């Protein structure tokens, strides 16, 4: 089903206030290949549900040849687009025009959004027509769904490093992760599934807090580190520390440090336990995880297991506060809008860590991270650090 929206004329007042709008966080503009990949994944997610959930696709078609060749837009245009769209919406090039993917959006909502986007384009002197497609009603999207099914449920769009996102290739992931950890810095692999349009610089005040907090924390907590190390060695076989490759700012890989709380072959056993995960989305969470050691349960409840990451903070790979870094194979399964969390340094704690619980859905966790990025500040960071300390003292951490 294709519906053409009517182009509306703008008033002088609308033009004035449109030009006076403040610049805000801009959406990522994906390439044609990346946008089609996100579209394919959304079709697959819709088909996977018992009751199909509709989603909308908007294509903004430039009327003039000059506009159709544009590759960059006025930052103010980006700002107005961002204010109209939700965090979960995706923007990119689609069939040589701008495409907008609106997950879990029905016909009326998609049409309303299309009209608003058309008005925004007009305010910026762009002459456009807007086409709206609704899945599963549109023939073009149904054809794409059929193409996905012929590929065994996988997206037909080839992406580099796609094997990292498949649990069945966990051994390959582990081998490449070990190569990364043991390799020289200049030989370490840069993993990026989507280009990052915006990379937020780390404010000076934030880096000062990180250095002072991490340095002081390592000094003050050294007796606790020693006690944890002794406890791990006396109660289970294996090393004291666990190092896992995770995806950091701009998709850079780094080795996160933790006190070992599981058996030594825990990552290999995760494939067998994947179906029991209590966390929706790509992240893996299991309350009664059989891989956790006796001392490991206490270390997790008290958040002591995360304290070695103060070293990651001191070296600049992490910050005290920021989105929690995910293992590489989980991070690569995130959608484009969720991966916008990688535009800042990952953190030792975050909004989800301090306030959420196990019932929090993965998509809400991701929204918390993006809201933090847009509103982060000195006092909000300080409050999150204090609240996380109370979580640790009251033993409310994950088990």
Quickly name the fold that domain 2-150 has. Alpha-Beta Plaits (3.30.70)
Torsion of CA 91, 352, 322, 250, to 10 degrees: -40
- Read off the tokens for 26: 């801009």
Q: Which residues contact 117 (CB under 8 A, 6 or more apart)?
A: 58, 60, 81, 84, 100, 130
For residue 259, what pLDDT band results from cuts at 50, 70 and 90? very high
The CA distance from 191 to 175, in Å, is: 15
Of residues 342 and 333, more confidently modeled: 342
pLDDT digits (tens, 9 = 90+) for 180-227: 444 443 333 333 334 444 567 899 999 999 999 999 999 999 999 999
pLDDT digits (tens, 9 = 90+) for 341-358: 898 999 999 998 888 776
Domain residue limits, the chain: 2-150, 167-393
The CA distance from 34 to 29, in Å, is: 9
- The mean of the pLDDT values for the chain is 76
**Stretch 131-138: mean pLDDT, rounded?**
83
The pLDDT value given to residue 66: 54
Residues in the chain: 399
Between the alpha carbon of residue 112 and those of residues 5, 105, 116, 132, 192, the distances in Å are: 9, 11, 6, 10, 34
The pLDDT value given to residue 392: 82
Tell whether pTM > 0.75.
no
Residue 312, helix vs strand vs coil: helix
The CA distance from 390 to 307, in Å, is: 15
Contact between 70 and 124 under an 8 Å Cβ cutoff? The reply is: no
The pLDDT value given to residue 16: 35
Q: Is the predicted pLDDT of residue 160 greater than 80, yes or no?
A: no
User: Strand 253-259 to strand 97-102: parallel, antiparallel, or no bridges (unpaired)?
Assistant: unpaired
The pLDDT value given to residue 209: 95
The pLDDT value given to residue 152: 46
């Amino acid at each position: 089903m294709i519906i053409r929206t009517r182009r509306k004329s703008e008033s002088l007042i609308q033009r004035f206030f449109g030009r006076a709008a403040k610049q805000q966080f801009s959406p990522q503009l994906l390439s044609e290949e990346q946008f089609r990949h996100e579209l394919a994944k959304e079709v697959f997610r819709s088909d996977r549900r018992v009751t199909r959930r509709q989603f909308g696709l908007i294509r903004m078609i430039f009327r003039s040849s000059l506009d159709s060749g544009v590759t960059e837009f006025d930052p103010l245009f980006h700002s107005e687009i961002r204010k109209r769209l939700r965090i979960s919406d995706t923007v990119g090039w689609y069939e040589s025009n701008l495409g907008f993917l609106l997950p879990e959006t029905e016909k009326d909502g998609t049409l309303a959004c299309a009209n608003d986007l058309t008005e925004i384009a007009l305010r910026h002197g762009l002459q456009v027509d807007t086409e709206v497609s609704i899945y599963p009603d549109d023939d073009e999207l149904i054809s794409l769904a059929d193409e996905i099914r012929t590929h065994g449920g996988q997206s037909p769009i080839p992406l580099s490093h796609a094997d990292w996102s498949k649990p069945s290739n966990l051994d390959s992931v582990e081998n490449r992760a070990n190569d990364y950890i043991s390799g020289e810095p200049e030989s370490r692999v840069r993993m990026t599934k989507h280009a990052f349009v915006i990379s937020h610089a780390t404010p000076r005040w934030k880096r000062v807090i990180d250095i002072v907090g991490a340095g002081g924390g390592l000094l003050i907590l050294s007796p606790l580190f020693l006690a944890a190390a002794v406890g791990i060695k006396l109660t289970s076989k294996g090393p004291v520390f666990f190092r896992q490759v995770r995806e950091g700012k701009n998709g850079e890989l780094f080795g996160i440090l933790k006190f070992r709380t599981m058996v030594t072959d825990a990552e290999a056993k995760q494939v067998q336990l994947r179906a029991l995960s209590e966390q929706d989305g790509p992240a893996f969470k299991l309350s009664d995880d059989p891989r956790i050691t006796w001392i490991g349960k206490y270390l997790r409840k008290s958040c002591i297991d995360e304290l070695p990451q103060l070293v990651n903070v001191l070296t600049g790979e992490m910050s005290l506060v920021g989105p929690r870094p995910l293992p590489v194979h989980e991070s690569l399964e995130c959608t484009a809008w969720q991966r916008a969390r990688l535009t800042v340094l990952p953190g030792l704690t975050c909004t989800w860590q301090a306030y959420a619980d196990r019932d929090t859905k993965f998509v809400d966790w991701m929204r918390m991270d993006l809201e933090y990025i847009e509103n982060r500040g000195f006092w909000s960071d300080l409050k999150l650090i204090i609240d996380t300390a109370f979580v640790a003292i009251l033993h409310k951490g994950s088990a």
